[in-house]
Amino acid sequence: MNFYYSFFVVFSIAFSIHANAQEHPNLILTKSGVETIKKQLGTIPIFDTTLNKVKNAIDQEIASGIHVPIPKDMAGGYTHDRHKKNWITLQQAGVLYQLLADDKYAKYVHDVLKEYAKIYPTLPLHPQTRSYARGKIFWQCLNDSNWLVYVSQAYDCIYDYLSKKERDNLEKNLFIPYANFLSEGSPQFFNRIHNHSTWGNVAVGMIGLVMDNQELIDRALYGLKSDNIDPNQKDNDGGFIKTKGQKTGFLANLDEPFSPDGYYTEGPYYQRYAMYPFMIFAEALQNKKPELKIFEYKNGVLIKAVYALLNLTNANGEFFPLNDGQKGMSYYSRELVSAVNIAYHFGGNDPSLLSIAKQQNRIQLDDTGLSVALGIQQKKAKPFIKKSIELRDGSDGTQGSVGILRSKNQQFGLVMKYTAQGLSHGHYDKLSFSYYNKGNEILQDYGLARFVNIEQKNGGGYLKENKTWAKQSIAHNTIIQDEISHFEGKFKIGSTHHSEKYLFDVSNPKLQIVSAKEDNAYPGTNLHRTMLVLEDNDFENPLVIDVMQFKSKTTHQFDLPFYYNGQIIDTNFEYSSPETLTKVGEKNGYQHLWLEGKSILKEERTLQTTWKTNQTFYTLSTLAKQNDEFLFTRIGANDPNFNLRRDPSFLIRKPKQEEGVFISVVEAHGSYNYVTEIANNAHSNIKKITKNSTKNKNYVSWSILTKKDKKHTFVLCTTDSNNKTSHTITINGKPFSWVGPYTHNKEN
Amino acid sequence: MNFYYSFFVVFSIAFSIHANAQEHPNLILTKSGVETIKKQLGTIPIFDTTLNKVKNAIDQEIASGIHVPIPKDMAGGYTHDRHKKNWITLQQAGVLYQLLADDKYAKYVHDVLKEYAKIYPTLPLHPQTRSYARGKIFWQCLNDSNWLVYVSQAYDCIYDYLSKKERDNLEKNLFIPYANFLSEGSPQFFNRIHNHSTWGNVAVGMIGLVMDNQELIDRALYGLKSDNIDPNQKDNDGGFIKTKGQKTGFLANLDEPFSPDGYYTEGPYYQRYAMYPFMIFAEALQNKKPELKIFEYKNGVLIKAVYALLNLTNANGEFFPLNDGQKGMSYYSRELVSAVNIAYHFGGNDPSLLSIAKQQNRIQLDDTGLSVALGIQQKKAKPFIKKSIELRDGSDGTQGSVGILRSKNQQFGLVMKYTAQGLSHGHYDKLSFSYYNKGNEILQDYGLARFVNIEQKNGGGYLKENKTWAKQSIAHNTIIQDEISHFEGKFKIGSTHHSEKYLFDVSNPKLQIVSAKEDNAYPGTNLHRTMLVLEDNDFENPLVIDVMQFKSKTTHQFDLPFYYNGQIIDTNFEYSSPETLTKVGEKNGYQHLWLEGKSILKEERTLQTTWKTNQTFYTLSTLAKQNDEFLFTRIGANDPNFNLRRDPSFLIRKPKQEEGVFISVVEAHGSYNYVTEIANNAHSNIKKITKNSTKNKNYVSWSILTKKDKKHTFVLCTTDSNNKTSHTITINGKPFSWVGPYTHNKEN
């Protein structure tokens, strides 16, 4: 059997599988798939290796006995970790039973499930009371759902191994009450637009598919018909549970949080988390309900979502930590192994996905994993090229975007965020950006303030510093007015707005541009940020140019921080250094910053600071006016539990202004080698930044003068982004004419 | 010709080469060696790869023209970097001429040397006046010497290509005045015991050998006969130039700073630096003056020194930054490539050196490199096992030691320093230690305060913070009395003392011990530190046990800091957190520490702090008494130029005591995976540390109680380290009898 059928062939095969829908397994593994896999075993390295690893782990686990403790602990505690381990073990043991045809695995799954069936009927709510939706096995329904998504697969695998009586016992005492508890018993959890609900929907749907229980399947797909949720009720993260009249269920969770480009509004970290239930349920639906054509749903948004996620990573495959995201999470996670396998198998066998799968070096033990393993074995893999890309946010793609500019060599990546709020995991950082070089964070997004699953840190849950620091605007590389976060840091306000794309143009690889506006973060103030990546012989590496414009009806203080890493090498200006460290401000995150140094400008000039991260030098050049301030800050104030990293930043402050612009340039230059001790090109190549007078409020213009006196002049029209409009203005007495929203001119 | 001759065969071959001593090349490359290499070219991968890389680099360099600017700049500036580049280019071009027999390389070397010969006769001292021994080409004689060490080799390579007249021009206008300037013209530089002088001696000796100038050779080997150096004169690092009557020259520099174990008193970073001139001159002497038997000198100390250096590295091959040492320097440096090649060739063809050479992945382009390349090609490499080892300090090995304890799996390494001062690059850190896990610094030595060759940081030279911070005792994991550095931080005092080894016993791999005393750091105070590495089933990883005893005639404050890396996860005690950060002290390095938190003990207890570095958890448990203090500090106060890293430490303080002991345990435990988000074993396994009463001042005893109530009791006799002495004492009412200085007992 050739597994390299096209998207449409998949459907016809899926239909033929459907004809045998009553034969188990038929959820993720299929009867015919298992036969094919068995024939190939021992001949496909990556499949065999994964299978062996799983077998070793599960054999060890089975040998340790059966452990189904009465639930008691928070995340990181024994009962939590044990039940979590059980769900994986059960799912994998089920797969082993099918692929290796060894009854010991089926027996083990059955034995464990019997223990759960014994305790479940009388289990009260979990004793830990922290969640807005407490579970029974775990402290929150979310984890109970995780469990059922995996365990449904195990049940499907041993379904035919069990007698009817044995199945009746498990279904009556465990699976049906379990599914009812997660849905009807927990409407505030089940009937939402949120990754939590997706897990809940899929848990109920998966077990419904195994048991052929149409009522549960419908509940999963379309939500509960009634729920009586109070529209003012909030979850633990401060997000609203549900707005009135909102559709719910699995399909609604595909409709709403996913944009047409496959971007998930909560951000990549949670998209990764939700990807597993989305994709695994889609695979199950494709196997059992192909008439739903789930992979074609919303123009194939599920497959697009996998590509979106792969593009939302740095050179090491780590997700950009937009909104709440723990750094280090990457496409090496099991969710992405599964997603890439399913996207390859059901999404047209794109050979570039095989190069990601090769890096992942393991597969999902099913038909999709077999396809991938065979593709790799047959050397079909092609490089996955991450290009500059704009990923729109909002269910119809009109609620802003994430714009990613990458250098030609793929080493440099600039990520600018001008999205919607991102539900309860959203941060208040409109128009923020982060910047990477070869997988290193050069200008970082802080990420979340949480140590996931580390018990000592608040049971592994969100720390209060997530609210007081990580979500605040000052924790990001974006503009802050009067030391107040965007939308006053209020979810109710933030979640009704989004930024507006102005321009995203990557047609010229030598000068890429992203530009967006934000008019609601501060009522009465218009913000407009434009970022360019220039590749030019005058500079060793791509240059990041940042033009942050602001205009208000009244006078305010405007701050623009840059969170760098590493050691300051040099500055071209004087500053004062305090004898004692005091916090930069009183609230909205400022109370977490120490002030390490300060300069108040006596006259307009280009301020430069050079630092070194790992083995590369970087220089931030910024045009400052008289009375502007340059602050050296460091995170760590008001942090008695050492919950925050002691990371530094440069903070450029324009006090008391109505209107203005921050024009800054970030250069990566040179190198330092700790073995040869050779420092190359340790100095900035920029002499000066100037702002040019345009005498026309619809334009902004600036020039960058290099140390070799090459002058790069830029003009941007800020009111018309049409790329066919002609413009003519005079700058410094010189006429400029061009077509489209911006121009760049180089003089020697 | 078989290159795998033994140590003695080498000598006889060397003698036969000597017979043709007037034929060039005969310094590093030899006529017969070149013939052998030429025959093998194209057949030995690692040699060919290195040769190709060098050829490409030199071809590019030659194509760029000849650049011999009038000297002007400090390190990091153009003329400095250019002349530095020239020395390497010339040396390598010389080698290429010999190996590839292409006249273009000889012509290039000659052309460049002619330019030097033109400017040298009228060159004044270098205009930069910072050095105690200013050079002519560079700001310091040291770099001028570097130049001549390399360029002598180039001259030897093209010697026969030049006419007598051409040679006369170079010798008269360049080499002879150059050698005279470095020696007679700079006695304060040339006639010392110091790595500077070694470079100077070797520079003069190398050019002497090429020119067969016995006067220069003798000067190099035995120093200047008279120098008129003021015994109070100091160099830029604050070290004395010369004590009265001290022997000088190359051989004296082998005699004195090297211990019989091959440890170089300045520390590994400078030993690495000095290794090149030591080894390359030894190779030249072996080729031209085999009767000196230089590799047998002082019981083969040069070969031993190479092994010492390899053992003074962490799992990544990076040198322990004892004394002034820039972190990141490793055995991948060119000096160590050369040293390992020469040690392999002239030191008995030890196959374990080949595994280091394989990692280095390049060789020295001469006979020694050919030997290594052939050895690797013939798959003779064996692993280089780094074991626990004590390296004695002092010319006769009686001035203390560096003790290194490594775990069986080689992942954990504890380095304790109880050496002599280490000349002008020494730090005031008697009995200090550092601790590594898999190449990561767990408890770090700060290293130096310098950015070598980064011009913006004081021209790449030592920063004033090297004196105010890095050299001070508080910058190290050692005990400090009354916030004053050891020996008052005075070189004059420090350089007349060394610590005394008490015990170094690694015969039992399950319990290794190092112990040393220091009675001179604070007059009237006796310090005794004992560190143990215990490998036991009760603990996941080797346990570090640290027993720091102090006894004084009067009352003092004693501090013991631990410089960790990473993020604090948890503490088992309350502490206060200041609203503003103030410095911990006024001077001796304390002025550079911010106080981030403080606890004053109300009663005796075991204080525990858990932190995470990368993906591993660590816990420091320490027994504290009533009124003891636990401080959380961070480097960075009084550092307006951001010259210091913002690294944190725990500081345990015992105020107002005459006598006492710090008993601490460092555990490495568990792991955190950022992709699976699984935290394993995130908690310490230790419940309690207790000090046991021995009722005998000659013993110290303590117990460690695990959370599973396993009790490990230790007794150390502190006055008799004889391993045959029998001891019997009663502890907690229980009799203990054993033989040797210490015992360990485990109870369930």
**Pairwise CB contact (< 8 Å): B455 & A597:** no
Nearest to B614 by CA among B668, B659, B688, B661: B668
pLDDT of amino acid A227:
83
Q: Find all residues with CB under 8 Å of A407, minimum gap 6, and list them.
A: A413, A533, A535, A541, A542
Reduce the DSSP state of residue B531 to 3 states and report it. strand
pLDDT of A9 > 70? The answer is no
Alpha carbons within 13 angstroms on the beta-carbon side of residue A606 total: 23
pLDDT of amino acid B236:
79
Residues constituting chain B: 748
The model's confidence at residue A695, banded by pLDDT at 50, 70 and 90, is confident
**Pairwise CB contact (< 8 Å): B580 & A577:** no
Q: Which residues of A touch B597 (CB under 8 A)?
A: 640
CATH code of residue B21: 1.50.10.100
What CA–CA distance (Å, rounded) separates A582 from A592?
A: 10
Active-site residue list of B = 270, 425
Single out the residue in B185, B206, B226 at which a domain terminates.
Answer: B226
Cα A700 to its chain centre, rounded Å, is 33
**Pairwise CB contact (< 8 Å): A569 & B596:** no
**Pairwise CB contact (< 8 Å): B456 & A329:** no
Q: Which residues of B touch A680 (CB under 8 A)?
A: none
Task: Indicate whether B712 belongs to any domain.
Answer: no
Distances (CA, A) of A598 to A160, A595, A650, A652: 72, 8, 10, 10
Same domain flag for B207 and B93 = yes
Structure tokens that stand for A447 in this block: 């990420």
pLDDT tens profile B594-651:
999 999 999 999 999 999 999 999 999 999 999 999 999 999 999 999 999 999 999 9
pLDDT of amino acid B243:
78
The H or E element containing residue A742 is strand A742-747
Q: Which among B333, B457, B674 has CB closest to A329?
A: B674
Q: Which residues of A touch B580 (CB under 8 A)?
A: 580-583
**Is beta strand A525-534 parallel, antiparallel or unpaired with respect to B616-624?**
unpaired
The residues with which B618 forms a beta bridge, in sequence order, are B611, B668
Same domain flag for A68 and A157 = yes
Nearest to A514 by CA among A413, A398, A439: A413
pLDDT of A258 > 80? The answer is yes
Task: Indicate whether B362 belongs to any domain.
Answer: yes
Same domain flag for A381 and A398 = no
Reduce the DSSP state of residue B570 to 3 states and report it. strand
Q: Which among B332, B455, B579 has CB closest to A675?
A: B332
Nearest to B646 by CA among B594, B597, B575: B594
Please count the structural domains in chain A.
Answer: 4
pLDDT of A653 > 60? The answer is yes
**Is beta strand B525-534 parallel, antiparallel or unpaired with respect to B543-562?**
antiparallel
Active-site residue list of A = 270, 425
Nearest to A99 by CA among A46, A173, A44, A25: A25
The model's confidence at residue A241, banded by pLDDT at 50, 70 and 90, is confident
Reduce the DSSP state of residue B501 to 3 states and report it. strand
Determine the residue among B448, B458, B674 to mutate to test chain A binding: the one whose Cβ has the most chain A Cβ atoms within 10 Å: B674
Task: Indicate whether B743 belongs to any domain.
Answer: no
3-class secondary structure for A427-450? CCCCCEEEEEECCEEEECCCCCCE
The H or E element containing residue A518 is strand A511-518
pLDDT of amino acid B464:
97
Q: Find all residues with CB under 8 Å of B16, minimum gap 6, and list them.
A: none
pLDDT of amino acid A1:
34
DSSP assignment letter at B410: S
pLDDT of amino acid B680:
92
Structure tokens that stand for A256 in this block: 């709403």
pLDDT tens profile B208-240:
999 999 999 999 999 998 888 887 888 877 777
What CA–CA distance (Å, rounded) separates B340 from A271?
A: 52
Reduce the DSSP state of residue B385 to 3 states and report it. coil
Same domain flag for B602 and B623 = yes
Identify the segments of chain B with pLDDT beneath 50: 1-21
What CA–CA distance (Å, rounded) separates B16 from B33?
A: 12
Task: Indicate whether B72 belongs to any domain.
Answer: yes
What CA–CA distance (Å, rounded) separates B540 from B443?
A: 19
**Pairwise CB contact (< 8 Å): B76 & A682:** yes
pLDDT of amino acid B32:
92
**Pairwise CB contact (< 8 Å): B675 & A582:** no
Q: How far is the alpha carbon of B566 from chain A, nearest alpha carbon, in Å? A: 9
**Pairwise CB contact (< 8 Å): A327 & B456:** no
DSSP assignment letter at B708: T
Same domain flag for B95 and B36 = no
Q: How far is the alpha carbon of A569 from chain B, nearest alpha carbon, in Å? A: 7
**Pairwise CB contact (< 8 Å): A642 & B330:** no
Structure tokens that stand for B161 in this block: 């290509």
Task: Indicate whether A746 belongs to any domain.
Answer: yes
**In degrees rounded to 5, what are phi and psi of residue A608?**
-130, 135
pLDDT of amino acid A290:
96
pLDDT tens profile A547-592:
999 999 999 999 999 999 999 999 999 999 999 999 999 999 999 9
| Nearest-Cα residue of chain A relative to residue B647 | A646
**Is beta strand B389-392 parallel, antiparallel or unpaired with respect to A511-518?**
unpaired
Same domain flag for A403 and A436 = yes
Q: How far is the alpha carbon of A125 from chain B, nearest alpha carbon, in Å? A: 25
What CA–CA distance (Å, rounded) separates A579 from B252?
A: 49
Q: Is the peptide bond prior to A177 cis by the omega test (within 30 degrees of 0)?
A: no
Single out the residue in A684, A700, A729 at which a domain terminates.
Answer: A684
Beta strands in B511-647 (DSSP E): 511-518, 525-534, 543-562, 567-571, 593-600, 605-613, 616-624, 629-635
pLDDT of amino acid A92:
97
> In whole numbers, what is the pLDDT of chain A averaged over residues?
94
Single out the residue in B226, B244, B275 at which a domain terminates.
Answer: B226
**Pairwise CB contact (< 8 Å): B677 & A582:** no
Same domain flag for A345 and A399 = no
Task: Indicate whether B519 belongs to any domain.
Answer: no
Reduce the DSSP state of residue A296 to 3 states and report it. helix
Whether ipTM > 0.90 holds is yes
Q: Report whether B211 contacts B171 (CB < 8 A).
A: yes
pLDDT of amino acid A233:
83
Task: Indicate whether B711 belongs to any domain.
Answer: no
**In degrees rounded to 5, what are phi and psi of residue B706?**
-85, 170
pLDDT of amino acid A82:
96
Residues B237-243: contacts with CB within 8 Å, 24+ apart? B237/B324, B237/B424, B237/B425, B237/B462, B238/B424, B238/B467, B238/B491, B239/B194, B239/B423, B239/B424, B239/B425, B239/B491, B239/B495, B240/B424, B240/B491, B240/B492, B240/B495, B241/B132, B241/B188, B241/B192, B242/B188, B242/B191, B242/B192, B242/B193
Q: Report whether A713 contacts A730 (CB < 8 A).
A: no
pLDDT of A739 > 50? The answer is yes
What CA–CA distance (Å, rounded) separates A715 from A730?
A: 10
pLDDT of amino acid B2:
40
User: What is the full DSSP assignment across A355-412?
Assistant: HHHHHHT---SSHHHHHHHHHHHTT---------EEEE-STTS-S-EEEEEE-TTS-E
Q: Report whether A536 contacts A563 (CB < 8 A).
A: no
Nearest to A364 by CA among A100, A18, A28: A28
What CA–CA distance (Å, rounded) separates A659 from A159?
A: 69
> Hey, how many other C-beta atoms are within 10 angstroms of the C-beta on A34?
18
**Is beta strand B629-635 parallel, antiparallel or unpaired with respect to B648-669?**
antiparallel
Q: Which residues of A touch B450 (CB under 8 A)?
A: none
pLDDT of amino acid B242:
78
Please give the single-letter amino acid code of residue B339.
Answer: A
Q: Taking the alpha carbons of B66, B72, B76, B80 in that order, is the dihedral positive or negative?
A: positive
CATH code of residue B660: 2.70.98.70
Q: Which residues of A touch B640 (CB under 8 A)?
A: 575, 577, 597
Share of chain A above pLDDT 70, in %: 97
Q: Taking the alpha carbons of B374, B378, B382, B383 in that order, is the dihedral positive or negative?
A: positive
The residues with which B568 forms a beta bridge, in sequence order, are B611
Size of interface A-B (CB pairs under 8 A): 111
**Pairwise CB contact (< 8 Å): A580 & B577:** no
pLDDT of amino acid B592:
98
pLDDT of A340 > 90? The answer is yes
What CA–CA distance (Å, rounded) separates B251 from A509?
A: 62
Q: Which residues of B touch A612 (CB under 8 A)?
A: 454
Structure tokens that stand for B565 in this block: 């890396």
What CA–CA distance (Å, rounded) separates A207 from A149?
A: 8
pLDDT of amino acid B14:
38
pLDDT of amino acid B554:
97
User: What is the full DSSP assignment across A46-59?
Assistant: HHHHHHHHHHHHHH
pLDDT tens profile A114-162:
999 999 999 999 999 999 999 999 999 999 999 999 999 999 999 999 9
Q: Which among B454, B575, B646 has CB closest to A682?
A: B454
The model's confidence at residue A7, banded by pLDDT at 50, 70 and 90, is very low
Same domain flag for A209 and A123 = yes
Q: How far is the alpha carbon of A452 from chain B, nearest alpha carbon, in Å? A: 6
Same domain flag for A487 and A451 = yes
**Pairwise CB contact (< 8 Å): A677 & B332:** no
pLDDT of amino acid B398:
97
What CA–CA distance (Å, rounded) separates A10 from A627?
A: 66
Q: Which residues of B touch A327 (CB under 8 A)?
A: 674
What CA–CA distance (Å, rounded) separates B333 from B338?
A: 9
Determine the residue among A453, A583, A683 to mutate to test chain B binding: the one whose Cβ has the most chain B Cβ atoms within 10 Å: A453
Residue range A721-747: mean pLDDT, rounded: 94
Domain housing A599: 389-684
Nearest to A113 by CA among A137, A78, A134: A137
Query: By CB neighbour count within 10 A (0-12 exposed, 13-18 middle, 19+ buried), where does A60 fall?
Result: exposed
Task: Indicate whether A237 belongs to any domain.
Answer: no
DSSP assignment letter at A240: B
Same domain flag for B404 and B379 = no
| C-alpha distance across the termini of chain B, in Å | 65
Q: How far is the alpha carbon of A247 from chain B, nearest alpha carbon, in Å? A: 32
Determine the residue among A642, A643, A707 to mutate to test chain B binding: the one whose Cβ has the most chain B Cβ atoms within 10 Å: A642
Same domain flag for A694 and A659 = no
Residues A193-196: contacts with CB within 8 Å, 24+ apart? A193/A242, A193/A246, A193/A248, A193/A252, A193/A253, A193/A256, A193/A257, A193/A423, A194/A235, A194/A239, A194/A253, A194/A257, A194/A423, A194/A424, A195/A266, A195/A270, A195/A273, A195/A274, A196/A133, A196/A141, A196/A142, A196/A145, A196/A235
Nearest to A204 by CA among A122, A284, A318: A284
Nearest to A423 by CA among A270, A589, A226: A270
Q: How far is the alpha carbon of B618 from chain A, nearest alpha carbon, in Å? A: 13
What CA–CA distance (Å, rounded) separates B68 from B147?
A: 13
Same domain flag for A475 and A611 = yes
Q: How far is the alpha carbon of A416 from chain B, nearest alpha carbon, in Å? A: 24
